[in-house]
Amino acid sequence: MSLINIDLHKDLLDLISHDFAGLYSGEVGLSTIEGGQSAAKAALDSLDIMRYADQRSEVFPITKRGATVLSPYIRHNLLTLDQVYRAVKSAPFKDREKFRDELFWQEYARHLYARIGTRLFENLRYVANENGDGNGWNRQMFCIDTVLSELESDGWLVNQSRMWMASQWTVRAGKGWVHGQERMYRELIDGSRAANLLGWQWTIGAGTGKPYGFARWQVEKRAPGLCIKCPLKKSCPIQEFPDDVGLLQLDKDPILDRDLDIASTTGPSQVINNVIPKFVLLTIESMGDADPALIANPELSDIKLISRDIR
């Protein structure tokens, strides 16, 4: 790291500590994933999903990963799902379809959350351990400690790692998934209520009735070399797949299959102006240059004006 980068790193940490005092917990740190609209554009311009279908689930070594790491930009609307969908139109069919499937999953999660709101914090279709107390991540397991360290330092994980963490917390350790997803959500820079909650429900079986069975086989396949370093390698707690225990099905709620009030879920189709705006408030959901409020009020898009008015 050059002296310039060291100074910039320190300046950013000082800025966060000063300007965001009281708005975070734990130690201040910086992810290796660069933020901002320029970084998002650069990531999209260099997007290459060749072999994505085969490598998207690889965890370690990092050089084998096929994940695109676009999710932080998509989550905060620096890149739209439509932009990213169109950007891969010339990719090989197998990779393009698998990648687009993941974009559809994000879209589905958003629509479901808009429809049912905080109901997504409750078991949707099957009874899984929802509110059991305790920490489900055993850091003596080298696979869990390695992935958790990456989550804490970078705020991002490949999807396979997220499934490991969710399954270990609830399916293996028997702890309440609502608390586990909240612990993960606090660390994620792409943390989306919709995607994180639905992902946990799917993994631990509350959404499907079929829990994802985290086992040593998956670690050795997706992250070769981790198990040999583990202090529990001779007494691995996930040596075999967990027993296939059927989950009790809940009464079916029609709202999970179709939207009963589309007008309320989607909101108005046209902009409604109630007052003449003095500033534009950017939310965590829409921080990019394409924010509709910024586009509708270009004369108010000066960041100094926004900052001063908000304060």
The closest alpha carbon to 74, from 179, 188, 207, belongs to: 188
301 pLDDT more than 80: no
The closest alpha carbon to 127, from 211, 194, 35, belongs to: 211
The rounded distance, in Å, linking the Cα atoms of 66 and 69 is 9
Provide the residue ranges of all domains of the chain, joining segments of one domain with +. 25-119, 142-256, 268-311
Q: Which residue has the tokens 């080298």?
A: 142
Average pLDDT over the chain, rounded to an integer:
90
pLDDT grade for 310, boundaries at 50, 70 and 90: very low
Residue-by-residue DSSP string for 144-196: HHHHHHHHHHHS---HHHHHHHHIIIIIIT---HHHHHHHHHHH-TT--HHHH
Residue 141 has what pLDDT? 98
Residue 7 has what pLDDT? 66
Over the stretch 260-287, which tens digit does the pLDDT of each residue have?
Answer: 889 888 888 877 788 888 888 888 888 8
138 pLDDT more than 50: yes
Over the stretch 70-81, which tens digit does the pLDDT of each residue have?
Answer: 999 999 999 999
Tell me what the mean pLDDT of segment 152-169 comes to. Answer: 97
The closest alpha carbon to 95, from 157, 43, 160, 48, belongs to: 48
% the chain with pLDDT above 70: 94
Over the stretch 56-74, which tens digit does the pLDDT of each residue have?
Answer: 999 999 999 999 999 999 9
pLDDT grade for 3, boundaries at 50, 70 and 90: very low
CATH code, 25-119: 1.25.40.80
Residue 309 has what pLDDT? 35
Residue 113 has what pLDDT? 95
Contact 237, 216 (CB under 8 A): no
And the tokens for 19?
A: 């300007």
And the tokens for 265?
A: 């879920």
* Superfamily name with CATH number, domain 142-256: DNA Cyclobutane Dipyrimidine Photolyase, subunit A, domain 3 (1.10.579.10)
